[in-house]
Amino acid sequence: MSSWASYPSLEGATVLVTGGASGIGASLVRHFGAQGSRVGLIDLQEDAGAALVEELRGRGQEARFAAVDLRDITALRAAIDEIVGALGPVGVLVNNAADDTRHAFAEVTPEYFDDRIATNLRHQFFAAQAVAPGMVAAGGGAIVNMGSITWLLGQSDLPVYTTSKAAVTGMTRALARELGPKGIRVNAVLPGAIMTERQIRLWKTPEYEAQVMSGQCLQRFLEPDEVARLVLFLASDDGSGCTGQDYLIDGGWA
Ligand SMILES: NC(=O)c1ccc[n+]([C@@H]2O[C@H](COP(=O)([O-])OP(=O)(O)OC[C@H]3O[C@@H](n4cnc5c(N)ncnc54)[C@H](O)[C@@H]3O)[C@@H](O)[C@H]2O)c1
């Protein structure tokens, strides 16, 4: 990571990453750790979350993990309180957790619809609500919400996930207006096809590769670290003028 930018404003900052135990979230945790941030992560994968914290501590970095299912807002609030108690008020929140499990339009029940919204959208709002007072007291902060290009492409096979990700963009714009006067910036990052462990395991077939490459300008798959580096910029003071926007990182697809 040493050949990439470092951001003095992230050194010593408390950063909270949801869904930080694997995939893009784990890359975010490692990147913020390498910047000297104090990193709190929340995830339902207990073993992976605990192992990642040990990895960071082994490098002399500060990290704290809370095992929580983000669909439970009471548990989310308690986890944020615990992380703030250990690491200090959150200066940067990355709302990263989501689950892109495929689901057929005709088979979605009201209960499953609510479950997908709770998994892919609702916790982003309540995590922002929980950290905002601390950011206001500190004179500012940065929130990055992970969206997706799925709704820009009009992708099928996961309609409630796609609906949630469209709402992430609307929510981002609303919260940027709400919190901008208090010095808090809120942006959305919309990845394309990023080769996490899960994506490789579930979707990386020759057919999928052909589909992605026919859409992208860049003729290679993007990596989680490339997304993390964009988030670092938006979270840092180097991104001080950026708020209320979508930042696409999709190799030129959407
Ligand atoms: N990888 C891609 O190609 C891609 C594309 C577009 C958008 N995104 C977005 O980027 C973000 C990260 O995606 P990823 O590919 O790294 O996903 P991933 O599935 O690899 O990792 C998601 C993490 O969130 C956690 N998580 C899921 N549901 C949770 C819950 N209810 N409570 C607590 N933790 C939970 C998982 O345990 C996992 O660690 C997501 O918001 C996703 O929608 C990813």
Pocket of ligand 1 (CB under 6 A): 19, 21-25, 43-45, 69-71, 96-100, 119, 146, 148, 191, 193-194, 196, 198-199
Closest ligand 1 atom to Cα of 96: 41
Q: Tens of pLDDT along 152-177?
A: 999 989 999 999 999 999 999 999 99
Amino acid type, 81: D
Rounded to the nearest angstrom, the distance between the alpha carbon of 181 and the centre of ligand 1 is 30
Q: Compute the mean pLDDT over every residue in the chain, rounded to the nearest whole number.
A: 97
Average pLDDT of span 222-237: 98
Rounded to the nearest angstrom, the distance between the alpha carbon of 71 and the centre of ligand 1 is 14
Rounded to the nearest angstrom, the distance between the alpha carbon of 203 and the centre of ligand 1 is 14
pLDDT at 105: 98
Q: What is the C-alpha separation between 123 and 105, in angstroms, rounded? A: 23
Contacts of 216 by beta carbon, 8 Å cutoff, 6+ apart: 192, 193, 250, 251, 252, 253
| Percent of the chain at pLDDT exceeding 70 | 99
For ligand 1, atom 44, which residue shows the shortest CA distance?
A: 191
pLDDT at 156: 87
pLDDT at 218: 98
Superfamily of domain 11-249: NAD(P)-binding Rossmann-like Domain (3.40.50.720)
Angle at 244 between CA 243 and CA 250, to 5 degrees: 95
pLDDT-derived band of residue 41, with 50, 70 and 90 as boundaries? very high
pTM of the shown model? 0.98
Q: What is the C-alpha separation between 95 and 83, in angstroms, rounded? A: 15
pLDDT-derived band of residue 146, with 50, 70 and 90 as boundaries? very high
Instruction: Indicate which residues carry an active-site annotation.
Output: 161
pLDDT at 2: 60
Closest ligand 1 atom to Cα of 49: 39
Residue 189 has pLDDT above 80, yes or no: yes
Average pLDDT of span 120-148: 98
Rounded to the nearest angstrom, the distance between the alpha carbon of 103 and the centre of ligand 1 is 16
Q: Tens of pLDDT along 61-102?
A: 999 999 999 999 999 999 999 999 999 999 999 999 999 999
Tell me the domain boundaries of the chain.
11-249
